[in-house]
């Protein structure tokens, strides 16, 4: 189904997990990103692949494929926050009918939106869950691990302490020999013509993003309560350094 359409609602919407009231979202989310993620305008306007591609300066497909190619068909994948556009469907397609994709978000409106987008894809489940906490099974609410955890443009949207909490939860949720894939903003080269534009965007709309210009994701992990030494770390950049992909592969 084309991105940005309004498919019929899923017949069986996913319930909230125990301990999460429907109106309970983190304060930083409500105070900073209501316009983008909690409002009717935001969910209608931004959930088009063309809009996502514009926000990412024409790099949306490249960035999404950057993640998808690390997924093994038939594996279990956790996406710890909803993403506008076609990202989740791309992961579901890559996982395939023998795999399992679990998408979670702390905001009920995003859970509902993602559930509608993934209707008819049996290997995909959508649950309500805070990304600062380790993955729970959609069936038993017990802790579980995934072969691949995809953290796609989430860290720049949360404050410093939440960055550490999310990173730790992601790493704890990686199965033996599995991997975590972080794709997010990165400090562009000094010569990059969009560097001052992004500085303005961050100053006006993305107050938590600049930390990723000055702090490595591996360092965020090291500063958290996760065991970052249990992983092999690899970093790549794209588009003049504006975007980064950090892969943490569990080695023990």
Residues of the chain with pLDDT below 70 are 1-23
Helix (H) or strand (E) holding 246: strand 243-250
pLDDT at residue 176, as a whole number: 97
Of 122, 111, 179, 104, which is closest to residue 146 (Cα–Cα)? 179
Tell me if the pTM is above 0.85: yes
Tell me the CB-side half-sphere exposure of residue 109, using CA atoms within 13 A: 18
Answer yes or no: are the C-beta atoms of 234 and 246 closer than 8 Å: yes
Q: Give CA–CA dist 139/178, Å, rounded.
A: 21
Answer yes or no: are the C-beta atoms of 215 and 185 closer than 8 Å: no
pLDDT at residue 23, as a whole number: 55
Hunting for tokens 């649950």 — which residue is that?
A: 127
Q: Give CA–CA dist 106/166, Å, rounded.
A: 12
Q: Give CA–CA dist 121/93, Å, rounded.
A: 9
User: Which domains does the chain carry?
Assistant: 27-250 (3.40.50.150)
């Amino acid at each position: 189904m084309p991105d940005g359409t309004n498919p019929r609602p899923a017949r069986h919407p996913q319930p909230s997990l125990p301990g999460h009231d429907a109106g309970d979202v983190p304060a930083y989310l409500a105070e900073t990103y209501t316009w983008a993620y909690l409002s009717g305008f935001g969910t209608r306007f931004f959930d088009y692949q063309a809009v996502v591609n514009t926000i990412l300066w024409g790099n949306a497909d490249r960035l999404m494929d950057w993640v998808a190619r690390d997924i093994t068909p038939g594996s279990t994948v956790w996406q710890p926050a909803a993403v506008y556009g076609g990202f989740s469907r791309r992961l579901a397609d890559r996982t395939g009918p023998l795999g399992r994709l679990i998408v979670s978000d702390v905001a009920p409106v995003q859970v509902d939106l993602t559930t509608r987008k993934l209707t008819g894809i049996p290997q995909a489940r959508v649950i309500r869950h805070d990304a600062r906490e380790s993955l729970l099974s959609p069936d038993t609410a017990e802790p579980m691990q995934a072969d691949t955890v995809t953290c796609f443009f989430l860290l720049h949207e949360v404050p410093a302490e939440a960055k550490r909490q999310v990173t730790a939860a992601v790493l704890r949720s990686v199965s033996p020999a599995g991997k975590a894939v972080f794709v997010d903003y990165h400090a562009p080269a000094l010569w990059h013509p969009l560097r001052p534009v992004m500085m303005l965007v961050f100053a006006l709309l993305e107050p938590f993003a600049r930390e990723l210009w000055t702090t490595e994701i591996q360092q965020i992990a090291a500063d958290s309560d996760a065991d970052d030494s249990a992983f092999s770390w690899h970093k790549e950049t794209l588009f003049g350094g504006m975007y980064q992909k950090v892969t943490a592969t569990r080695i023990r």
